[in-house]
Amino acid sequence: MFEQANLSDRRSVLVDWALRGGIGLGQWFRYFTGAVEILGGVLVLVPRPEAPKMTTRAALLRSREAQKQQAQYDLARVRAGRMKLKRLEPA
């Protein structure tokens, strides 16, 4: 009779058994901990996507572009006489 049951019936039977005291809370915790460890091991082996690296590169390029724009703006202010250059002291 159990062989003829579909998958959802099997799951409901297992859930009923577990919730009615088939296994205790400590055993559930052991299963959960094992699943988390296995998932962590699998995720260590899976290569990371390139998206975070590309985002970092894009931010770096944007900051360089902003520095260039600021330098051009400052140069224009110096040429217009609204800003004076400061001499850099050697370190």
Same-domain check for residues 83 and 54: yes
Instruction: Tell if the pTM clears 0.75, that is, is over it.
Output: no
Same-domain check for residues 55 and 90: yes
Q: Which domain holds residue 76?
A: 50-91
Same-domain check for residues 35 and 10: yes
CB 83 within 8 A of CB 74: yes
Same-domain check for residues 54 and 39: no
Number of domains observed in the structure of the chain: 2
Same-domain check for residues 37 and 59: no
Same-domain check for residues 66 and 37: no
Same-domain check for residues 33 and 56: no
What does each of the 91 residues of the chain score in pLDDT, given as a tens digit?
A: 455 555 566 667 777 776 776 677 788 889 899 999 999 999 888 877 766 666 777 777 778 788 888 888 878 887 888 777 777 677 6
